[in-house]
């Protein structure tokens, strides 16, 4: 048995009923009690998530902007300090000429001394090693340094309508004002007070993976427990719950957010799954951008994909799971045993679960373009039995707009 990696919060999870599972080589809490309770706490008040398993890379140096610009699917050179963008990391390998290595958040941090540009890249735990290897392979001899900070830092997500309020209560009035004024996909730094009053430096971003407003904090590994404890203690009286990966998954599914390894894989056409916004093929002046896989992505942009990503609302509490077959009920279909013959397979479920917010099962699926229109009546085969599933818009759940 290979030993699992542990986040700085591992002992807290164990002491607080965290049910630990292997996730991408990390021992992570899937839930502390009920996934539904954790999910609802995040939608109603706030959820606190240990997401330290995500890879955190620091890239700096005078050549860093141009170098990242040459590798990522989003523009980087025009990122101002404090801005964050969702991007893909692609190579030009594979049958299509474009392999999606990961999806990531690239942030331009405040410049270091003497205007030295600094970036952070947050990548999936499951892809961290190969993204680091890919980047190292392309690293120029001078002008850029790349450091994997995953193990010297921790990352906490505080998500939900009260999340910003709870974190701001632990910051100085100045820092709190700056955090409240932070737009989505913006990042800043702040000092977070622990329960003894001691301050801990944190990179604070208005980002998340739940469909709720909220923050993600990167803190030194040695500060993780103190900062987590402070947020937990301040938040619990207001309805905050510590949440595991189970609730993180149901929340992101309702929010219609793709997950690498499910909706998004190496061979995915990003345009087919609604990630066209993450591919910038032109420069600001209209000229073509060049990065690994760009040529193949131009072809994908100009072609209609065979299958596209849709949301499905199922007529059951029983969930479709990844791999469940989606069929279009055919005229004159006949049931043979438990398998419906005569229906045409039109797609595959990529993620599915009971939706705590909606009270029935939902899914994301890749289905043939011809039957992807909202309102289309399809069926999902659950252990051979067809269950009615309607194509619905993504996201499956949208939070009430705040006033």
Partner 1 sequence: MAAAGNERFAKTHEWIRPEPSGVATVGISAYAVEALTDLVFMQLPAVGKRVQAGESIGEIESVKAVSDFYAPVAGEIVEVNTALPGKLETLAADPYGAGWIVRIKPDDPATLAGLLDASAYDALVKSQPH
Q: Which residue is associated with the tokens 């719950």?
A: 241
**Both structure tokens of 62:** 């005078």
277 CB burial (10 A radius; 0-12, 13-18, 19+): exposed
Give the nearer residue to partner 1 in terms of CB position, either 39 or 186: 39
Q: Which CB, 16 or 184, lies closer to partner 1?
A: 16
35 touches partner 1 (CB under 8 A): yes
Using CB under 8 A, pick the residue from 25, 34, 58, 176 that binds partner 1. 34
Neighbours of 345 (CB within 10 A): 12
In the region spanning residues 365 to 384, those forming contacts with partner 1, defined by CB under 8 A, are 383
Q: Rounded to whole angstroms, how far apart are CA atoms 125 and 118?
A: 22
Q: Provide, rounded to whole angstroms, the least separation between the CB of residue 387 and partner 1.
A: 11
- Under the binding rule (CB under 8 A), the answer on residue 316 touching partner 1 is yes
Does position 30 interact with partner 1 (CB under 8 A)? The reply is: yes
Instruction: Kindly report the number of other CB atoms within 10 A of residue 113's CB atom.
Output: 5
Our finding on whether 99 is near partner 1 (CB under 8 A) is no
Query: By CB under 8 A, is residue 70 in contact with partner 1?
Result: no
Query: Out of 41, 104, 131, 319, which residue is the one contacting partner 1 (CB under 8 A)?
Result: 319
CA distance 94 to 109: 33
Tell whether residue 386 is a contact of partner 1 (CB under 8 A).
Answer: no
Nearer to partner 1 by Cβ, of 39 and 289: the residue is: 39
**SS3 category, 92:** coil
**Cα 160-229-182 angle, rounded to 5 deg:** 40
The span from the CA of 174 to the CA of 177, in Å, is: 5
Q: Is 210 in the site for partner 1 (CB under 8 A)?
A: no
Which of 246, 258, 270, 293: binder of partner 1 (CB under 8 A)?
A: 246
Q: Residue 321 or 369: which CB sits closer to partner 1?
A: 321
CA 14 to chain centre: 25
Residue by residue, DSSP assigns 1-16 as: -PPPEE-TTHHHHHHT
* Interface with partner 1 in residues 111-170 (CB under 8 A): none
Diameter over CA atoms, the chain? 73
CB 311 within 8 A of CB 362: yes
CA distance 126 to 107: 20
Is residue 27 at the binding interface for partner 1, with CB under 8 A as the rule?
A: no
Contact call for residue 188 and partner 1 (CB under 8 A): no
Cβ-based neighbours of 16, under 8 Å, separated by 6 or more:
32, 242
Nearer to partner 1, 40 or 376 (CB): 40
Interface pick for partner 1 out of 124, 343, 353, 372 (rule CB under 8 A): 353
Q: Tell the smallest beta-carbon distance from residue 244 to partner 1 (Å).
A: 10
Contact pick of 260, 271, 291, 354 for partner 1 (by CB under 8 A): 354
What letter would DSSP give residue 214? E
Count the residues of the shown chain that bind partner 1, applying the rule CB under 8 A. Answer: 19
* Euclidean distance between CA atoms 174 and 168, whole angstroms: 10
Comparing CB distances to partner 1, the nearer of 127 and 355 is 355
* Alpha-carbon distance values, 280 to 68, 72, 113, 267 (Å): 13, 9, 30, 18
Two tokens, residue 229: 């404890």
* Residue 36 is a binding residue for partner 1 (CB under 8 A): yes
The residue among 74 and 252 lying less far from partner 1, judged by its C-beta, is 252
**Looking at 25-33, 109-117, 224-232, 260-268, which segment touches partner 1 (CB under 8 A)?**
25-33
- Closer to partner 1 at the Cβ: 22 or 370? 22
Cβ proximity to partner 1: between 30 and 295 the closer is: 30
Judged by the rule CB under 8 A, the positions of this chain that interact with partner 1 are: 19, 30-31, 33-36, 246, 250, 316-319, 321, 353-354, 356, 361, 383
């Amino acid at each position: 048995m290979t030993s699992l990696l542990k986040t700085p919060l591992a002992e807290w999870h164990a002491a607080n009923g965290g049910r630990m599972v292997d996730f991408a080589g990390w021992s992570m809490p899937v839930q502390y009690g009920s996934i539904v309770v954790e999910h609802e706490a995040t939608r109603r008040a706030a959820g606190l998530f240990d997401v330290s398993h995500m890879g955190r890379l620091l890239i700096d140096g005078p050549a860093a902007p141009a170098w990242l610009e040459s590798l990522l699917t989003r523009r980087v050179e025009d990122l101002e300090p404090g801005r964050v963008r969702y991007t893909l990391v692609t190579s030009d390998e594979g049958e299509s000429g474009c392999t999606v290595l990961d999806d990531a958040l690239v942030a331009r941090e405040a410049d270091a001394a003497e205007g030295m540009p600094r970036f952070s890249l947050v990548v999936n735990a499951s892809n961290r090693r190969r993204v680091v290897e890919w980047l190292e392979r392309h690293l120029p001899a001078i002008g850029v340094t790349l450091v994997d900070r995953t193990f010297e830092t921790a990352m906490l997500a505080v998500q939900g309508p009260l999340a910003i309020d709870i974190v701001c209560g632990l910051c100085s009035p100045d820092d709190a004002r700056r955090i409240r004024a932070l737009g989505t996909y913006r990042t800043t730094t702040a000092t977070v007070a622990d329960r003894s009053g001691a301050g801990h430096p944190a990179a604070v971003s208005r980002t998340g993976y739940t469909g709720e407003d909220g923050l993600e904090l990167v803190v030194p590994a040695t500060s993780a427990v103190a900062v987590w404890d402070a947020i937990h203690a301040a938040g619990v009286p207001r309805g905050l719950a510590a949440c595991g990966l189970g609730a993180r998954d149901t929340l992101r599914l309702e929010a219609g957010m793709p997950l690498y390894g499910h909706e998004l894989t190496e061979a995915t056409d990003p345009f087919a799954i609604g990630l066209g916004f993450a591919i910038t093929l032109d420069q600001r002046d209209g000229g073509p951008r060049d990065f690994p896989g760009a040529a193949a992505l131009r072809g994908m942009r100009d072609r209609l994909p065979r299958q596209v990503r849709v949301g499905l609302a199922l007529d059951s509490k029983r969930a479709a799971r990844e791999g469940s077959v989606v069929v279009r009920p055919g005229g004159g279909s006949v049931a043979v045993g438990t398998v419906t013959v005569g229906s045409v397979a039109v797609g595959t479920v990529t993620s599915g679960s009971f939706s705590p917010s909606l009270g029935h099962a939902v899914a994301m699926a890749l289905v043939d373009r011809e039957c992807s229109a909202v309102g289309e009546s399809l069926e999902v085969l659950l252990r051979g039995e067809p269950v009615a599933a309607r194509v619905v818009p993504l996201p499956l759940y949208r939070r009430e707009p705040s006033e």
